[in-house]
Amino acid sequence: MIRIVLPYHLRTLARVDGEVAVAVEGPITQRSVLDALEAGYPMLRGTIREHVTLRRRPFVRFFACEQDLSHEPADALLPDAVAKGAEPFLVVGATAGG
């Protein structure tokens, strides 16, 4: 299972506490993980990636294993630790405010 940490507002929207675990078949990539997440929690469609283009929304970031993976290709393999469930894939709202 792939572990995913969602930001507060998306946990509230999806009505989950703590991490989300999803089963992913095939290569473990941003695209396959997010596809599985949205299949299990359809209310998240359009909130992390835009509809149709599936581009990451501008103020959303993807972190894992202390790396910023936001600008990696959607089909690039995620770190082994994420694929093995040792580390979570973090969906983060970009820091902004004032």
What backbone phi and psi angles, to 5 degrees, belong to 33?
Answer: -70, -45
Size of interface with another protein, in residues (CB under 8 A): 19
Instruction: Please provide the DSSP assignment of 40-96 as one string.
Output: H-GGGTTTSB-TTT-PBPTTEEEEETTEE-TTS-TTSBPPHHHHTTSSPEEEEEPP-
Q: DSSP class of residue 16?
A: -
Interface pattern 3-22 for another protein (x via CB under 8 A): ----xxxx--x---------
Q: Which of 5, 19, 40, 45 binds another protein (CB under 8 A)?
A: 45
Interface pattern 73-92 for another protein (x via CB under 8 A): --------------------
Q: Which residues bind another protein (CB under 8 A)?
A: 7-10, 13, 43, 45-48, 50-52, 57, 59-60, 93-94, 96
